[in-house]
Structure 1
């Protein structure tokens, strides 16, 4: 099962496998519904579902981490990185997909699909996933990372050294826009 103990007491982490997809999707659903409140309107949260969600490519590439609570076994957080050009989006966002391979030392690897179960926020799990992703990308020769950040994620990413590159609109439906901030960080 490839479980590893975590530097974060009480949690383990491992790489996701296809059998985890239903559990990951459930985590994403509750995180989208709950953690964006206060950052997006209910209409924006509904529209954000058109661009957020499960990306099976990350699982197939072996670059998607899961963090489980040791005591309960619950999936507490997930997130990954990618050596592909897609900046954000799930399987269902075909317009955002770009499976082109990025070049270490030239291109920025991507931080992707960061989600935390609302019952496990403020415990350092987002930082833990970012650290795992940064180390894995560094080992493959990448010296920069970029992401398409939700407004709810920006405080964490800024605290971890990511800086704004540009403001974008990730989705727009019937006049309801969902902002996505392109952020980046040097890791070498």
Structure 2
């Protein structure tokens, strides 16, 4: 049974943060040392709660449980200050995919793929020609399989000289056809 993809509600913020933190700790463990993951969670968090208020954050629900989440925005994310160049430096109108997470027990079940499809459809409907994201190393294979290409590699600076290695990735969006 496919998950229900719907907008997140404000009362889901805490359960979303718990799922996201658990996801990063478990799925990121093969790619990052534990101290780097903990520093990233403490200093950057997992999502911008304003996305829920904007109506641009989605939940994938399966059997009444949060199985994943993802969002989008047309404004620069808060981590953009840590990058050497601005996001969406590519030609055309660009949207930023934000905070894609899947509950570890639901990994590799198509949840992230469905969320990405929903996010990309909404970005295209807003006039975005390109979708861009900052991928943790654990997410790079998924995004590459969805047609995203690496734009650049970065190390987001954390306290005590630590860095979170990420890849900036982008792909063109298929224009939506006008309704007949």
TM-score (normalised: structure 1): 0.82
**What is the number of residues matched between the two proteins?**
166
Contact 1:13–1:65 (CA<8 Å) still a contact in 2?
Answer: yes
Give the whole-Å Cα distance in 2 for the aligned partners of 1:56 and 1:45.
20
For residues 87-126 of structure 1, the C-alpha deviation after alignment (integer angstroms, 9 at most, x for no partner) is 758xxxxx56xxxxx9xx8331000001110111110011
In the other structure, the counterpart of 2:50 is: 57
Per the TM alignment, residue 20 of structure 1 is displaced from its structure 2 partner at its CA by: 1.0
Give the whole-Å Cα distance in 1 for the aligned partners of 2:79 and 2:117.
19
In the other structure, the counterpart of 2:71 is: 80
Per the TM alignment, residue 172 of structure 1 is displaced from its structure 2 partner at its CA by: 2.6
Contact 1:88–1:112 (CA<8 Å) still a contact in 2?
Answer: no
Contact 1:47–1:171 (CA<8 Å) still a contact in 2?
Answer: no
For residue 47 of structure 1, the aligned residue among 39, 45, 48 is 39
**Unpaired segments of 5 or more residues in structure 2?**
83-87, 175-180
Task: List, as ranges, runs of 4+ consecutive aligned residues in structure 1 with deviation greater than 2 Å.
Answer: none
The change in CA–CA distance for 1:28 and 1:58 in structure 2 (over 3 A counts) is: same
Contact 2:73–2:98 (CA<8 Å) still a contact in 1?
Answer: yes
Per the TM alignment, residue 32 of structure 1 is displaced from its structure 2 partner at its CA by: 1.6
Are positions 1:153 and 2:105 aligned together? Answer: no
RMSD (CA atoms): 1.8
Contact 2:93–2:127 (CA<8 Å) still a contact in 1?
Answer: no
The within-5 A match list for 1:103-142 is: 106-142=92-128
The change in CA–CA distance for 1:88 and 1:159 in structure 2 (over 3 A counts) is: farther
Give the whole-Å Cα distance in 1 for the aligned partners of 2:29 and 2:116.
23
Contact 2:2–2:62 (CA<8 Å) still a contact in 1?
Answer: yes
Does the residue aligned with 1:27 lie in a helix, a strand or coil? helix
Per the TM alignment, residue 161 of structure 1 is displaced from its structure 2 partner at its CA by: 0.4
Which structure has greater helix proportion? 2
For residues 11-31 of structure 1, the C-alpha deviation after alignment (integer angstroms, 9 at most, x for no partner) is 211101211101111111211
For residue 161 of structure 2, the aligned residue among 175, 184, 188 is 175
Give the whole-Å Cα distance in 1 for the aligned partners of 2:164 and 2:47.
18
Are positions 1:163 and 2:163 aligned together? Answer: no
Contact 2:46–2:99 (CA<8 Å) still a contact in 1?
Answer: yes
Does the residue aligned with 2:105 lie in a helix, a strand or coil? helix
Give the whole-Å Cα distance in 1 for the aligned partners of 2:15 and 2:105.
15
